[in-house]
Amino acid sequence: IADVSGKGVPAAFLMALGRSVLKTLELQGEQPSCNVRKLNKLIYPDITEDMFITMMHSKYDYNTKTITYSNAGHNPLVVYNSITKQIETHSVKGVAIGFLDDYSYKQDKIHLNIGDIVIYYTDGISEAENQDKELFGIERLKNVLLESSHLSSKEIKQNLLSEINKFQNGCEQNDDITFVIIKREE
């Protein structure tokens, strides 16, 4: 999942460029940290200093039930651990794509047990505001996930959108809301 700085046509072009380059890099079968490093190296010369991409890039291994991820300045993964019944956040430090010409990104792994849930999200969720200019925040996101952990990923999605709408209570959304929910069923 990724988010670009700015809005409009320049942001759309940057996202299209980043997505196309990353899809090409994926064909080489490299690890997420290597792909993010190469992506940064390739597009760095073509973007202005006020533009950047944040990204949480990952691969899922169906055999080991493991997510390997690398972070380029993006929000941490929010994970429901079905064994401990707790919410965790997972991340590794990394700068946004476009900040530094040559940066070595780190990566880490998460093993998913049956019933574990992972949410990838953009700041449109955590920065959704209500009438008092209060932010929805990551703690509310965690609470929704904890209270919905017994549900399917589709039902969790509906609960999260409903809670954001209730929280905003008619306030305009300032940023796009993008998220992906993964739940290991077997």
Determine the pLDDT at residue 143. Answer: 96
Q: What is the pLDDT of residue 167?
A: 93
Rounded to an integer, the average pLDDT of 165-176 is: 84
Q: Radius of gyration of the chain from Cα atoms?
A: 17
Boundaries of every domain in the chain: 2-183
CATH assignment, 2-183 = 3.60.40.10
Which of residues 2 and 172 earns the better pLDDT score? 2
Three-class secondary structure of residue 155 per DSSP: helix
Question: Considering all CA atoms of the chain, what is the largest pairwise distance in Å, rounded to the nearest integer?
Answer: 48
pLDDT in the model for residue 7: 80
Burial degree of 66 (CB within 10 A; 0-12, 13-18, 19+): middle
Segment 5-60, tens digit of pLDDT = 888 888 888 899 999 999 999 999 899 999 999 999 999 988 887 899 999 999 99
Full-model pTM? 0.91
How far apart CA 17 and CA 49 sit, in angstroms, is: 16
The 10s digit of each residue's pLDDT in 72-81 is 999 999 999 9
Residue 72: per-residue pLDDT: 97
Using pLDDT thresholds of 50, 70 and 90, give the confidence band for residue 3: very high
Q: CA torsion 118→57→2→112, rounded to 10°? A: 0
